[in-house]
């Protein structure tokens, strides 16, 4: 599980770098809105790229609960798990 | 510190905006002279941002119908239809709309916003799935939030992405409901409704289309985009508004679904708000008649839209993907957009300033909406002012304009 998380974490990190347009230090505690200054449009595009990558759709209520990169890792893992069920 | 302290970032942004000129979100008209002109700060101003597509707000027959009913039936219903009952007008308007759309049933709501709020939150229940275009209007997003269905977005106007999202949901129980708009209000682009309808058929989903900005604008008889592209039979619910082409206020939903009328006792934004005043209903019924009796209004609207779109595009402005009654010009940045908007206003042209993140492109927009009531001369004046301000701000070349190609 830890290695799977790590893989998702590095994909998120790469996707974030692309959206922000510069190298950023990303940890589980990084606040996607407050630390990275992304607006809602940038977040949507970034999440949609991840959705394609993992062939999942993130419902809006789940997305609303995501604040940090760690939250996002867990949500993506949960959605992938639900898909495999 | 008060409870409103949480709005400090908004206050800061708003203060900054107002420090740069007039307040684009609270203009105060001293008088409205016609569907296309008002007095603003003592100046005669062309209205090019009021969604008054057919210019019916001053139609004499609509005003007469409204005045007559106002005198006969009073100023308001003072309550909801379930508590205070329906007036003849409410039922007549529902019958007229159902007939116009060739549908069995119609429900009228007090605003267009409430129509979306009511239909989306009620039709989609717990365990169902709403699949909405990412650029949907706030009323669609809010309708989704009010209900209990799971909500996912598809990429704007991307039928392949929609299909992908529905495929991901195929093994999940519950109904799937696609939501799209006929004409998107920020850029004036239309949905790929033929492709969306094909996805709907293939996946067995339901389809709701919001024709708020396309009613009276698109289609052979003005029923909207679904009529224009020939997919009305695939649309399960058409939602629309009276506050654009019909020149009043209110919203509606038409459908052929059996038991549609059950929604009248299940849909909270219908049940727990006062119904429309009879005078509003009366002008709306008449406007619906005028819209059908005078197809030339739609022709004039299209001509005006094309004239403005061509004029602004020829000046080199970045306009939307297609000519439509909504013509938006993308601005390079916020400061520029605010300066441009203020200069147009001071020159006597009112339109909408849209700032990110409330724009689909991430760039600020100067959004115009054209009316059938605009004269070609007014459209030319607007284009001329865009050129003049564009030159002042160094956005339009001093030499003769040439067409920009994509």
Dump pLDDT digits (tens) for B250-296: 999 999 999 999 999 999 999 999 999 999 999 999 999 999 999 99
pLDDT for A40: 80
pLDDT number for residue A36: 83
What's the pLDDT score for residue A2? 56
* Maximum Cα interatomic distance, chain A, rounded to a whole number of Å: 37
Strands (E), B296-370: 318-319, 326-330, 349-350, 352-354, 365-369
Q: How confident is the model at residue B402 (pLDDT cuts 50, 70, 90)?
A: very low
Q: C-alpha angle with apex A72: A55 to B145, nearest 5 degrees?
A: 85
Q: Which residue has the higher pLDDT, B242 or B403?
A: B242
Instruction: Decide: A63 and A76 in contact? Cβ < 8 Å.
Output: no
Burial class (CB in 10 A: 0-12, 13-18, 19+), A60: middle
Tell whether the model's pLDDT for residue A69 goes beyond 70. Answer: yes
Spatial separation of the C-alpha atoms in residues B351 and B93, rounded to whole Å = 31
Cβ of A42 and B151 within 8 Å?
A: no
Query: Residue by residue, what is the 3-state secondary structure of B101-118?
Result: HCCCEEEEECCHHHHHHH
pLDDT tens, residue by residue, B247-257: 999 999 999 99
pLDDT of residue B403: 45
Give residue B356's pLDDT.
87
Contact between chains at B168 and A44 (C-beta distance less than 8 A): no
Residue A39: its chain B contacts at CB < 8 A? 356-357, 362
Q: Using a CB-CB distance cutoff of 8 angstroms, which residues of chain B are in contact with residue A44?
A: 134, 153
Q: What is the pLDDT of residue B368?
A: 98
Q: How far is A2 from chain B (nearest CA, A)?
A: 26
Examine residue B210 and say whether the peptide bond preceding it is cis (omega within 30 degrees of 0).
no
Contacts of A42 in chain B (CB under 8 A): 362
With beta carbons under 8 A apart, name residues in chain A contacting B360.
Answer: 41
pLDDT at A23 over 90: no
Residue B400 has pLDDT above 60, yes or no: no
Q: What are phi and psi of B198, to 5 degrees?
A: -65, -40
Tokens of B32: 């409205």
Helix (H, G, I), strand (E, B) or coil at A27: coil
* SS3 assignment, position B246: coil
CA–CA gap between residue B274 and residue B223 (Å, rounded):
27
Q: In percent, how much of chain B has pLDDT > 90?
A: 93
Measure in Å the smallest separation between the Cα of A50 and chain B Cα atoms.
Answer: 13
Among B245, B243, B159, CA closest to B203: B159
Here the tokens at position B226 are 């679904």
Out of B150, B165, B362, name the one closest to residue A41 (CB): B362
Q: Is the pLDDT of residue A85 over 90?
A: no
CA B175, CA B206: separation in Å to the nearest integer? 8
CB-based contact B134 A55, cutoff 8 Å? no
Query: Quick check: B302 pLDDT over 90?
Result: yes
Q: What mean pLDDT comes out for the span A37-59? A: 89
Q: Tell me which chain A residues have a C-beta less than 8 angstroms from the C-beta of B164.
A: 52
Residue B381 and residue A11: Cα distance in Å, rounded? Answer: 52
A3 CB contacts (<8 Å, ≥6 apart)? none
CA distance B51 to A71: 42
pLDDT of residue B399: 59
Structure-token match 């909801």, residue found? B80
Q: Please, which residues bridge with residue B103 across strands?
A: none
Q: In B170-236, which ranges are E strands? A: 176-181, 206-210
DSSP B192: -
Average pLDDT over residues B89-102: 98
Read off the pLDDT of residues B314-370 as tens digits, 9 standing for 90 and up: 999 999 989 999 999 999 999 999 999 999 999 999 999 999 888 888 899 999 999
pLDDT of residue B168 exceeding 70: yes
Q: The whole model's pTM is what?
A: 0.94
Work out the minimum CA distance from A39 to partner chain B, whole angstroms.
Answer: 7
Q: Picking from A4-13, B11-20, B78-87, B370-379, which range would have the lowest pLDDT averaged per residue?
A: A4-13
Closest chain B C-alpha to A52 CA, distance in angstroms? 9
The dihedral built from the CA positions of residue B66, B69, B73 and B74, taken in this order, carries a sign that is: positive
**Model confidence over B182-233: pLDDT tens digits?**
999 999 999 999 999 999 999 999 999 999 999 999 999 999 999 999 999 9
Give the separation between CA B230 and CA B224, rounded to whole angstroms.
Answer: 10
Average pLDDT, chain B: 95
């Amino acid at each position: 599980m830890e290695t799977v998380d790590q893989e998702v974490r590095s994909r998120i990190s790469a996707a974030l770098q692309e959206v922000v347009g510069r190298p950023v230090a990303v940890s589980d505690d990084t606040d996607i809105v407050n630390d990275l200054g992304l607006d809602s449009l940038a977040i949507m595009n970034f999440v949609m790229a991840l959705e394609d990558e993992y062939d999942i759709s993130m419902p809006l209520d789940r997305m609303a609960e995501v604040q940090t990169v760690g939250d996002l890792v867990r949500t993506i893992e949960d959605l992938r798990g639900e898909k495999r069920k | 510190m008060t409870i409103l302290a949480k709005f400090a970032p908004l206050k800061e942004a708003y203060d900054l905006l107002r420090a740069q000129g007039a307040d684009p979100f609270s203009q105060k008209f001293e008088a409205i002279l016609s569907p296309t002109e008002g007095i603003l700060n003592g100046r005669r101003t062309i209205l090019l941002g009021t969604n008054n597509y057919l210019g019916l707000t001053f139609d004499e027959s609509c005003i007469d119908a409204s005045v007559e009913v106002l005198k006969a039936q009073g100023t308001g219903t003072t309550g909801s239809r379930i508590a205070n009952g329906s007036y003849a007008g409410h039922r007549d308007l529902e019958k007229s709309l159902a007939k116009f759309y060739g549908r069995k049933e119609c429900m009228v709501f007090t605003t267009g916003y409430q129509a979306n709020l009511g239909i989306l939150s009620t039709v989609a229940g717990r365990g169902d799935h709403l699949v909405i275009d990412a650029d949907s209007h706030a009323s669609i997003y809010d309708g989704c939030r009010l209900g209990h269905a799971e909500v996912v977005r598809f990429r704007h106007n991307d039928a392949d992405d929609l299909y992908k999202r529905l495929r991901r949901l195929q093994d999940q129980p519950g109904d799937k409901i696609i939501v799209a708009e006929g004409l998107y209000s920020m850029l004036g682009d239309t949905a790929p409704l033929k492709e969306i309808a094909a996805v709907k058929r293939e996946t067995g989903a339901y389809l709701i289309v919001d024709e708020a900005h396309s009613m009276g604008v698109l289609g052979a008889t003005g029923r909207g985009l679904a009529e224009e592209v020939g997919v009305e039979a695939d649309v399960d619910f058409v939602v629309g508004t009276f506050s654009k082409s019909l020149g009043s206020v209110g919203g509606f939903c038409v459908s052929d679904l059996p038991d549609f009328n059950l929604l009248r006792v299940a849909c909270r934004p219908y049940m727990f708000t006062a119904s429309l005043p009879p005078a509003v209903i009366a002008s709306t019924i008449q406007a619906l008649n005028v819209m059908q009796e005078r197809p030339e209004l739609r022709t004039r609207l299209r001509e005006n839209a094309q004239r403005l779109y061509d004029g602004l595009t020829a000046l080199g402005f970045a306009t939307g993907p297609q000519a439509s009654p909504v013509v938006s010009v993308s601005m390079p940045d916020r400061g520029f957009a605010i300066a441009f908007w203020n200069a147009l206003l001071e020159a006597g042209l009112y339109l909408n300033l849209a700032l990110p993140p409330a724009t689909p492109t991430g760039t600020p927009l100067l959004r115009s909406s054209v009316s059938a009531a605009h004269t070609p001369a007014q459209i030319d004046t607007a284009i001329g002012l865009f050129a003049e301000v564009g030159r002042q701000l160094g956005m339009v070349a001093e030499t003769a304009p040439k067409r920009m190609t994509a």
